[in-house]
Amino acid sequence: MQSVADEVGASPAQVAIAWTMARSAAVHPIIGARRADQLADNLGAVDVELPPGALERLDQATGFRHRFPTTFIQDTKPSVLAAADADVGRRLPRRL
């Protein structure tokens, strides 16, 4: 975290939060600041842009690997849901 933080001009906490946000649009980090300065620092993560190389290094450093159910869904979705995926857009009513 520290080396990436030094590269992008951010704190390690900001890098950790920005990395979490960059990994998935569906996952939102929960910050747990105890002081106002920590809250301000954590909120600054919104403005941190992590280059692709930094994201890869952080991913490798954690050793995180997706497991069940993610791997199951990725492996079975094309064969099980392919027709349903294509059909969903036609069946849903259009709303504003």
Domain ranges of the chain: 2-65
Helices (H), the chain: 2-8, 12-23, 36-43, 52-62, 70-91
Q: How far is CA 93 from the centre of its chain?
A: 30
Angle at 85 between CA 80 and CA 91, to 5 degrees: 130
27-82 pLDDT, tens digit each: 788 998 999 999 999 999 999 999 999 999 998 998 777 788 888 888 887 766 66
Q: Could you give the angle at the alpha carbon of 81 between the alpha carbons of 78 and 84, nearest 5°?
A: 130
pLDDT tens by residue, 1-28 = 999 999 999 999 999 999 999 988 887 8
d(CA 33, CA 61): 24
